[in-house]
Amino acid sequence: MDTQENYKNPLKDIDDWEENLKERYPAPDTLKKEKEAFRNYVDSERAETVREFYRLNHINQTYDFVCKKEEEFLKFNKKEMSLWGAIDFLNTLVDDSDPDIDLDQLQHLLQTSEAIRADGHPDWFVLTGFLHDVGKVLCLFGEPQWAVVGDTFPVGCKFSDKIVHPEFFTDNPDNSNPKYNTKYGVYSPNCGLNHVKMSWGHDEYLYQIMKDYLPEPALYIIRYHSFYAQHREEAYSHLMNSKDIEMFEWVKKFNPYDLYTKAPVKPDVKALKPYYEDLVNKYLPETLKF
């Protein structure tokens, strides 16, 4: 029987999910390297905690659950703070036991955004890299990890076998509900992802906070950067419209920066902060409601 703590937080580190992603989707330029050059992301302990994470995620992410979380969190009445305050808040999630890397959340965000900036992308793209994980503050409002991180997927229709660990959907109530377990479920062909409810987590939460402030490609990146079943496996093209297909080119462009820029060299936060202060001020209000 699960303990309450294991039910909430099966991962040893909230970033274990992202490490597992890199094992599932390795960077093309790493494929020829020796296995010993990498951390073993499929060791028994990590694999078991990730499996337990997805077991809980897949059992509990139902259409009704998502509706309840939207009702709870999209009132934005938990906390009001600046983006910098949110990042400071998020930094309390740092896990000192991580043997690979000693970076707080701000440094991880800066590694992503600085790689984007170095490649000459527009400033809104740089800002998107800088803030894309800020929705993880949900963990600090008492949300279990399986309702904050993890691959995202549509609810309200049949769960694709392209989603990681699809076997755990067997125990999801929607899987046996004829209203939800068909190809289209409550949706219609090519209805557009804006009409599709996604599993609840940091992506959708931050999108809802930022939707009035950032360009459309940035909002797609934030909202769907964990939707690997589509932007890697193309499992839900039947729900997408032409705008989704166009915007997903930006989601795919962002993905390598998110996955493959984590490195042990710490960004110089003091030197970089003035640039990001100006960038944040250009696009965002002084305070945001969470």
Supply the pLDDT for residue 5: 53
User: How many other β-carbons are positioned within 10 Å of the β-carbon of residue 261?
Assistant: 17
Supply the pLDDT for residue 10: 81
Q: Retrieve residue 47's tokens.
A: 């694999």
Supply the pLDDT for residue 40: 43
List Cα–Cα distances, 61 to 138, 214, 218, 230, in angstroms: 16, 28, 25, 18
Supply the pLDDT for residue 96: 36
Q: What are the residue ranges spanned by the domains of the chain?
A: 4-285
Q: Note down pLDDT in tens along the chain; length 290 residues.
A: 344 555 677 876 676 667 777 677 776 665 444 444 433 445 556 678 889 999 999 999 999 999 999 999 999 999 999 999 999 998 887 443 333 445 677 888 999 999 999 999 999 999 999 999 999 999 999 999 999 999 999 999 999 999 999 999 999 999 999 999 999 999 999 999 999 999 999 999 999 999 999 999 999 999 999 999 999 999 999 999 999 999 999 999 999 998 877 666 789 999 999 999 999 999 999 999 99
Query: CA dihedral in degrees (249, 128, 70, 237; nearest 10)?
Result: 10
Give dist(CA 25, CA 6) in Å, integer. 27
Residue 284: which residues within 8 A CB-CB, separation 6 or more?
A: 83, 210, 213
Core vs surface per residue 52-63: b (16+ CB within 10 A) or e: bbbbbbbbbbbb
User: How many other β-carbons are positioned within 10 Å of the β-carbon of residue 264?
Assistant: 8
